Amino acid sequence: MLVCLIITGCSGLHERATVKDHGNQTRNVILIVGDGMGPEQLGLLLSYARQAPDTVIGERRTAFDRIMDEGGVMGISLTYPSGVLVTDSAASGTQLATGKFAGSEMIGADKDGNPVETILEKAIKTGKSTGLVSDTRLTHATPAAFAAHQAHRDMENDIAVDMLNVGPDVMLSGGLRHWIPQETNDKDSAVYQKLEQLTQGAVKIKSKRTDSRNLLEEAREKGYALAFNRAQMDAAQGKLLGLFAYSAMPDGITVTHSQDSPDRTIPTLKEMSAKALQVLTENDKGFFLMIEAGMIDWAAHNNDTGLMLHELLRLNETVDYVLDWASDREDSLVIVTADHTTGGFGISYSANDLPVGRQLPGILFKGREFKPNYNFGNPAVLDKIYSQKMSYYELFRGQFDRLPKDQQTPARLAELVNQYTAFAISEAQAAAILATEENPYYTEGHSSLGDKVVPKMGPTGAFFVYQTDDNRQNLLAREVAADQMVVWNTGSHTATPVLVFAKGSPEAMAPFGNVLHHTQLGRYAIEAVMNQ
Ligand code: MG
Ligand code: ZN
């Protein structure tokens, strides 16, 4: 027993010494989080890259293929928080940021609700620069978990104050509404008019604050340059706070279609990441940067397959950019993972549209047709999924709901769906989507999220949608699922472990190629940051 202890102790010490001797080249740590990007989501991206006849992914090679081709490692990681099975983004982000178990919906706290120093705060203490980039809004759960300490993710006004106090050098995202005083809601106020000039019309000006604090002014006093559009971001020098939307930034389909427009004022996730890297590399001591592709999760909550693919492509191009930046830099560790899986998504075979029999040249098929019993899916469906022109959210909230009431009919909904997506629905299907209360498959329940739940006991099992106020998107998904060759099992998160990719010096990336829990992943990332 004593011998064991001594040996274990020795090997522990030896390991430590090894890391110290050889692993100290790591100066920069970049953590990229695909919110809701479980293995199912990555599977869609990889299938689309390799099998879609007209894939937009160059050489059919995703950033994930690249990480592995270029010598990276891959692991798998469980995401559950303290005491429960399934995580939300706040608890998961917190576990990544602190390396400690968190309670559900907490921000930067341990399971008992005490604040815990995050990887970003530790990086600042060691003299490194730090940055947060997200395509949702800055005070949303994932970025918040790295630079705030609050009992609940919904306390976004307090989170904004925390973030400013912690003071990452670069913060780029949406969510202006939590940074401006409540007085801005009066359009005649001086502060509104000043802000209108400052933002040059790029961002809707409305506050969610319930006090008079002008966090933009406070940021300026702390030495931040402010940016509200692409040009301002590009021109900025040094510490930078960029808020490019009232709430969330534009969705992936909108980005795809506006990317090359000269009028575009809002930067993409890739452009924000590039700017962050530019600012952060000015510090010789290195940096910690968290980049979030946050809307993979939102698309998956809505079971919007086409939108989810566009969100994944946005993450993919960002990771590609970061890999280009990091190539030949042994001093930089890039980690790509998700905070959890969303939607219980899958590409699935079915008994619909069965294949017709055909001849095959192989000798086993002499005198016999090749006619599988099921429809295993034509890869061309992936191009049809990509061809979606509008998110389900915009389709309902932005289009359908803005029609005059008497025009909000099943016929009109079917028309919209058939105009903006490649998966047509009939008027009867549209009627079923709109008449959710009358659908006999639906009964009301309650979820742990405090929202109402509508479980559907259909032919493929339970189907949970946690927004009863508007589950039309999920119901549309249900109607087109067979044609899309996909299944969605839920409108919430699942406990399916997520994949972890890492690339850096051999010593720095090695720990990530394992079966992990996100608290471990967080600790390894912290070790890499602290390892001077
Ligand atoms: Mg998030
Ligand atoms: Zn989510």
| Concatenated DSSP letters of 204-268 | ------SS---HHHHHHHTT-EEESSHHHHHH--SSEEEE-SSSSPPPHHHHHHHTT-TT--SPP
Q: What is the pLDDT of residue 436?
A: 64
Q: What is the pLDDT of residue 383?
A: 98
CA of 40 to the centre of ligand 2 (A): 15
Pairwise pLDDT comparison (328 vs 375), residue with the higher score: 375
pLDDT of 10 > 90? The answer is no
Q: What is the pLDDT of residue 12?
A: 38
Domain check: are 385 and 515 in the same one?
no
- Choose among 436, 323, 346: nearest CA to 44: 346
Helix (H, G, I), strand (E, B) or coil at 128: coil
Q: How far apart are CA 215 and CA 238, in angstroms?
A: 18
Q: What is the pLDDT of residue 532?
A: 56
CA of 193 to the centre of ligand 1 (A): 32
Q: What is the pLDDT of residue 57?
A: 98
Pairwise pLDDT comparison (484 vs 460), residue with the higher score: 484
Task: Please classify residue 483 by burial: count the beta carbons closer than 10 Å to its beta carbon, then call 0-12 exposed, 13-18 middle and 19+ buried.
Answer: middle
pLDDT tier at 2, thresholds 50, 70, 90: very low
Q: How far apart are CA 133 and CA 280, in angstroms?
A: 12
Q: Which residues contact 388 (CB under 8 A, 6 or more apart)?
A: 253, 305, 306, 307, 310, 420, 421, 422
Domain check: are 328 and 253 in the same one?
yes
Q: How far apart are CA 189 and CA 200, in angstroms?
A: 17
What Å distances lie between residue 465 and 251, 339, 364, 435, 445, CA to CA?
21, 20, 47, 15, 10
Least confident of 322-336, 350-364, 426-440: 426-440
Ligand nearest to the backbone CA of 138? 1
The total domain count for the chain is: 2
Q: Which residues contact 294 (CB under 8 A, 6 or more apart)?
A: 33, 35, 134, 135, 136, 140, 142
Domain check: are 281 and 378 in the same one?
no
Domain check: are 76 and 156 in the same one?
yes
Helix H or strand E segment including 530: helix 518-530
Mean pLDDT confidence for 143-168: 98
CA of 191 to the centre of ligand 2 (A): 34
Number of Cβ within a 10 Å radius of residue 366: 9
Ligand nearest to the backbone CA of 90? 1
Q: Which residues contact 378 (CB under 8 A, 6 or more apart)?
A: 485
How is 60-74 classified by DSSP, letter by letter? G--HHHHHHHTT-EE
Q: Is 89 a catalytic residue?
A: yes
String of b and e for 38-75 (b: at least 16 CB within 10 Å)? bebbbebbbbbbebbeebebeeeebbbebbeeeebbbb
What Å distances lie between residue 223 and 217, 226, 232, 238, 378, CA to CA?
10, 10, 16, 9, 55
What residue numbers bound the domain in which 480 lies?
Answer: 351-436+471-487
Domain check: are 322 and 280 in the same one?
yes
What's the full length of the chain, in residues?
Answer: 532
Check 47, 77, 89, 104 and give the catalytic one: 89
pLDDT tier at 471, thresholds 50, 70, 90: confident
Domain check: are 139 and 40 in the same one?
yes
Q: How far apart are CA 279 and CA 301, in angstroms?
A: 34
Q: How confident is the model over 314-333, as pLDDT tens digits?
A: 999 999 999 999 998 889 99
Residue 461 lies in a domain: no
Domain check: are 262 and 157 in the same one?
yes
Mean pLDDT confidence for 65-72: 97
**Tokens encoding 479:** 């109607």
Q: Are 157 and 178 in contact (CB under 8 A)?
A: yes
What Å distances lie between residue 58 and 232, 259, 302, CA to CA?
31, 17, 28
pLDDT of 7 > 90? The answer is no
Residue 233 lies in a domain: no
Pairwise pLDDT comparison (8 vs 329), residue with the higher score: 329
Q: How far apart are CA 93 and CA 108, in angstroms?
A: 8
Q: Which residues contact 482 (CB under 8 A, 6 or more apart)?
A: 350, 352
Ligand nearest to the backbone CA of 466? 2
Residue 324 lies in a domain: yes
Q: Which residues are near ligand 2, the ion (C-beta closer than 5 Å)?
A: 297
Q: Which residues contact 438 (CB under 8 A, 6 or more apart)?
A: none
CA of 425 to the centre of ligand 1 (A): 32
pLDDT of 358 > 90? The answer is yes
Residue 318 lies in a domain: yes
Residue 209 lies in a domain: no
Domain check: are 398 and 505 in the same one?
no
Residue 257 lies in a domain: yes
pTM to 2 decimals?
0.91
Sheet holding 28-34, edge to edge: 225-227, 240-243, 170-173, 129-134, 287-293, 28-34, 332-338, 498-503, 73-78, 515-517
Q: What is the pLDDT of residue 24?
A: 55
Q: Are 128 and 167 in contact (CB under 8 A)?
A: no
Percent of the chain with pLDDT over 90: 84
**Tokens encoding 11:** 């090997």
pLDDT of 61 > 60? The answer is yes
Ligand nearest to the backbone CA of 297? 2
CA of 231 to the centre of ligand 1 (A): 26
CA of 403 to the centre of ligand 2 (A): 29
The CATH number assigned to the domain holding 266 equals 3.40.720.10
Q: How far apart are CA 134 and CA 311, in angstroms?
A: 12
Domain check: are 51 and 153 in the same one?
yes
Domain check: are 135 and 263 in the same one?
yes
Residue 224 lies in a domain: no
Q: Which residues contact 464 (CB under 8 A, 6 or more apart)?
A: 447, 453, 454, 455, 456, 489, 490, 491, 492
Domain check: are 144 and 96 in the same one?
yes
Mean pLDDT confidence for 434-443: 52
pLDDT of 461 > 80? The answer is no
**Tokens encoding 225:** 């340059």
Q: How far apart are CA 107 and CA 134, in angstroms?
A: 16
Domain check: are 482 and 394 in the same one?
yes
Q: How far apart are CA 73 and CA 221, in angstroms?
A: 43
Helix (H, G, I), strand (E, B) or coil at 493: strand
- Choose among 523, 516, 522, 520: nearest CA to 497: 516
pLDDT tier at 469, thresholds 50, 70, 90: low
* Alpha carbon of residue 391 to chain centroid: 16
pLDDT of 289 > 50? The answer is yes
Helix H or strand E segment including 528: helix 518-530
CA of 92 to the centre of ligand 1 (A): 9
Q: What is the pLDDT of residue 449?
A: 34
Q: Which residues are near ligand 1, the ion (C-beta closer than 5 Å)?
A: 35, 89, 142, 294
Mean pLDDT confidence for 136-164: 98
CA of 90 to the centre of ligand 2 (A): 9
Number of Cβ within a 10 Å radius of residue 101: 19
CA of 127 to the centre of ligand 2 (A): 33
Residue 475 lies in a domain: yes
Mean pLDDT confidence for 336-351: 95
pLDDT of 445 > 90? The answer is no
The CATH number assigned to the domain holding 375 equals 1.10.1200.140
Q: How confident is the model over 216-261, as pLDDT tens digits?
A: 999 999 999 999 999 999 999 999 999 999 999 999 999 999 999 9
Q: How far apart are CA 385 and CA 421, in angstroms?
A: 8
Ligand nearest to the backbone CA of 493? 2
Q: What is the pLDDT of residue 256?
A: 97
Q: What is the pLDDT of residue 330?
A: 86
Mean pLDDT confidence for 375-383: 97
